[in-house]
Amino acid sequence: MTKSLKNRFFWVTAFISLILDQLTKYLVVQNLDLKETLAVWSDVFHFTYVLNPGAAFSFFQGEAWLRWLSLVVSIGLIALAWLGPAMNTLEQLGYGFILGGALGNGIDRFFNSCVVDGKLLTCVVDFLDFRLIHFAVFNLADVFINAGIICLLIASLRHQPPTPNSRRL
């Protein structure tokens, strides 16, 4: 009899997140020209192909350490799932989503480049463009990282020990 894989939801979530992120980026790069936009719902939601040399909202533009941060976070999460304790389902989903997103954007940072102000920089492919709220263009890796954070926040709230001054209902 084989032993079941510890934290299997973590591994499945990370794998599916990474595949979806990379597949959607591939489809955008193959089907749109840089800065081209495709209206899904005019003036509300578009696919717009842009390259982002920074992190969220283009912060830290051109910083070489962003690629290494993605790698370190990914290795840390893999070590946590492999060597750490069995996690509950929400924790597995949360860390799995974050790993999938970190790997997806990390792959971009290692293999995609763009020129900004005459400098060759590493870039992430972004394409989700919510125009109704004038939000930054982003990608599925960003969505997965945020979904992972939400899962971890919910998991942490569920496991809050009662404070000494709290009353039992």
6-37: per-residue pLDDT in tens? 999 999 999 999 999 999 999 999 999 999 99
Rounded CA-CA distance 20/127 in Å is 13
pLDDT in the model for residue 1: 45
Torsions phi, psi for 148 (to 5 deg): -65, -45
> Going by C-beta distance under 8 Å and a sequence separation of 6 or more, which residues neighbour residue 91?
151, 152, 155
Instruction: Point out the catalytic residue in the list 21, 108, 129, 142.
Output: 142
Q: Alpha carbon of 131 to those of 29, 37, 146: distances in Å? A: 21, 11, 19
141-165: per-residue pLDDT in tens? 999 999 999 999 999 998 666 566 6
Q: How many Cβ atoms are within 10 Å of 3's Cβ, its own excluded?
A: 5
Q: Among this protein's residues, is 142 annotated catalytic?
A: yes
pLDDT in the model for residue 14: 98
Query: Position of tokens 């293999």?
Result: 111
Q: Among this protein's residues, is 33 annotated catalytic?
A: no
Packing angle of the helix pair 89-111, 65-83 (nearest 10 deg) = 150
3-state DSSP helix/strand/coil % of the chain, to nearest 5: 50, 15, 30
Instruction: Point out the catalytic residue in the list 21, 108, 126, 129.
Output: 126
Look at residue 130 and tell me whether its pLDDT is greater than 90.
yes
User: pTM of the full predicted structure?
Assistant: 0.86
